[in-house]
Structure 1
Amino acid sequence: MLGRYLAQKLGTDLEKALLKFICQPLGMQDTTIRLSLDQRNRLVPGYAGKDVNQPELAMKVFEGAGALRSTVTDMLRFLSVYLGIYADHPMNKSFYITQQEHISQGKNFGVGLGWIIDKRNRIIWHNGSTHGYSSFLGCDPYNSIGIVILSNYRPSLMDDTLNRIGYEILTQIRENNYNFG
């Protein structure tokens, strides 16, 4: 609903709004709702089980709930700006606001603007899944580390394997002070 509302307020559709205000300023050329022929040719088939191919989900009404498609390269670019690695990027202030807790869910969790905030370990994350695909993006903005996991497998709805993998990798990076830069 929020995606539809924002697009309506901007006088456009969600895809055009995302491209204009997020993807183009960040240089994310492979993030979109409607795939070009080249992007469609590079799309990895989605699965819901061993040898159970899932057709992609065509979301026409509530596109903000899972119609956006991206690549690891684009998501890492997003994450780099989100973490403030490009100190002079004009979107830094806006991203910082999304990281702030706007709703408390008790002493362990909070909600930012589009993000879950784990107060126990200062990890900010979001995940998603549609037919045959799942994703996780998590970060520790205080230590400027993050991870993107894109999978062409969608486990059962309540399976949190991708989240646990993301958390474990973030924890290992932080605890072992790995430096990939």
Structure 2
Amino acid sequence: MIFPISRRVVVLLLPLVLAAAPPAPDPARAGMDAAQLARIGPVLREFVERGQMSGAVTLVMRRGVLAHFEATGWQDADAKKPMQRDTIFQIMSMTKPVTGAAIMMLAEEGRLRLHDRVEDHLPEFRGQMMIAGEENGVRTLRKPSRPITIRDLMTHTSGLGPAAPGIGDIMVRMDRTLAEACLIYSQQPLLFEPGTRWNYSNTGIAVLGRIVEVLSGMSFEKFLETRIFQPLGMTDTHVFLPVEKRPRLAPVFTVKDGKLVKAGADILGGDPLKYREGAKYSGPEHSLYSTAWDLAQFYQMMLNGGVHGGKRLLSAASVRMMTQLHTGDLQAGHNPGTGFGLTWEVTKDVAGTLTGQSIGTYGHGGAFGTYGWVDPQQQIVGVFLMQLAGRPQPMRDAFVTITNTAVRETAQ
């Protein structure tokens, strides 16, 4: 006897369909050398055995094909809990390009222009001043030559500095709403004339998130969930981690006296194993929890020109706009040979290619050693996830270099 499936059952099954298990890696179909990719695990295990990291999850896709997906070491080194491919990480500043994508979606809908003044959407920014000088503890302010724009925020050239004393620990305590935080940021003087310098600005990205809230009529976290995560099947990506997923969260470690120890409550987001209990702040600059597979969906969408799995989130024009170099000759970026696009760090010259990345590669890292990138020339998506409050570059660069030197067929 055949029983009809109710509409409610179909709705309940939908998330399961979207969250289909990753396929088996197929390096040959991806045009990559399996033997070279097989070096990744042993190399990272050496770092684990030397006590330099707890563990990592690594993922490589090329031409849309999964080539490598591996968990190495421990999710929790103290408890000897093995790392899993679906371990959840605090990805911190890897959140920023997701916030950037939200802004681009609103631009495509005609709700904003990238050269709009911030004060056009957030009136509290009207009349914002700039620091003209400081001498003998006396600060002189003056009006900047122009107001800051949305593009300034996306390129980190707005002049918005760190959160002021009294709210300076908001990225740790997360105890104010995004609206409250941005109201305070609006009253802080700019550090320099907008557009004249590059200065990495967490507060600037937070303001972008507030603009998303105001123009969409939704909370920042709800906009991301409904407009980005659900369409891409990113079922393990959250601003606030659901209770039932807490056992999958990797704690953050640091190295003290030559030994790995769990980080305490003074790091971004507070004690990871307190799970940000009671947090109010949605942190457009640093809040996301995610997995390697989820992040790969977002990056593949970017590589595909804004579409993935039959769902278009952005136009190809918006992707090009986001990933072009916008900072020109300004000294910008965290790594040699890079500058900034719209919330993405972009490889601009040969100094940025020493791990094998092509000029035009774009990506972003996070405070606890996480990193992801998209190389349009080689059609590579790479994800490196770890949780270390320390120096992640040796491990990260080893993974990136092995990945890029595993390419065996020219991208088509």
Moved more, 117-126 or 77-86: 77-86
Once the two structures are aligned, what percentage of the paired residues are identical?
25
User: What is the letter of the counterpart of residue 365 of structure 2?
Assistant: N
Q: How many residues align?
A: 171
Structure 2: gaps of 5 or more residues: 1-206, 265-270, 332-336, 350-357
Indicate the residue corresponding to 2:363 in structure 1: 125
Indicate the residue corresponding to 1:16 in structure 2: 222
Gap change, CA 1:114 and 1:101, over 3 Å in 2: same
Indicate the residue corresponding to 1:52 in structure 2: 262
Indicate the residue corresponding to 1:91 in structure 2: 313
The correspondence for 1:169, drawn from 399, 406, 411, is 399
User: What is the letter of the counterpart of residue 321 of structure 2?
Assistant: I
Runs of 4+ deviating beyond 6 Å: none
Indicate the residue corresponding to 1:115 in structure 2: 344
Moved more, 5-14 or 83-92: 83-92
Q: Does 1:102 align with 2:340?
A: no
Q: Does 1:28 align with 2:234?
A: yes
Q: How far did residue 109 of structure 1 move?
A: 2.9
Query: 1:43-62: CA deviations, max 9, x gaps?
Result: 12222231234312746336
Gap change, CA 1:39 and 1:97, over 3 Å in 2: farther
User: What is the letter of the counterpart of residue 115 of structure 1?
Assistant: W
Indicate the residue corresponding to 1:136 in structure 2: 371
Indicate the residue corresponding to 2:388 in structure 1: 153
1:64 alignment partner, SS class: coil
User: What is the letter of the counterpart of residue 208 of structure 2?
Assistant: L
Query: 1:146-174: CA deviations, max 9, x gaps?
Result: 2111112221xxx4x34x54445344433
Gap change, CA 1:91 and 1:15, over 3 Å in 2: same
RMSD: 2.7
Query: 1:64-115: CA deviations, max 9, x gaps?
Result: 1211110111011212222218485413524343212222245943311211
More strand by share: 1
2:290 alignment partner, SS class: coil
The correspondence for 1:81, drawn from 284, 301, 309, is 301
User: What is the letter of the counterpart of residue 261 of structure 2?
Assistant: D
User: What is the letter of the counterpart of residue 90 of structure 1?
Assistant: R
Q: How far did residue 15 of structure 1 move?
A: 0.6
Q: Does the CA-based 8 Å contact 2:232-2:308 persist in structure 1?
A: no
Gap change, CA 1:47 and 1:166, over 3 Å in 2: closer
Give, in whole Å, the separation in 1 of the partners of 2:338 and 2:287: 27
Give, in whole Å, the separation in 2 of the partners of 1:101 and 1:87: 28
Larger Rg: 2
User: What is the letter of the counterpart of residue 144 of structure 1?
Assistant: Q
Q: Does the CA-based 8 Å contact 2:362-2:374 persist in structure 1?
A: yes
Give, in whole Å, the separation in 1 of the partners of 2:330 and 2:397: 20
For normalisation by structure 1, the TM-score amounts to: 0.79
Give, in whole Å, the separation in 2 of the partners of 1:8 and 1:113: 20
Gap change, CA 1:104 and 1:73, over 3 Å in 2: same
Structure 1: gaps of 5 or more residues: none
Moved more, 17-26 or 83-92: 83-92
Moved more, 62-71 or 76-85: 76-85
Gap change, CA 1:175 and 1:44, over 3 Å in 2: closer
Gap change, CA 1:87 and 1:178, over 3 Å in 2: farther
Indicate the residue corresponding to 2:291 in structure 1: 71
Gap change, CA 1:140 and 1:97, over 3 Å in 2: same
1:148 alignment partner, SS class: strand
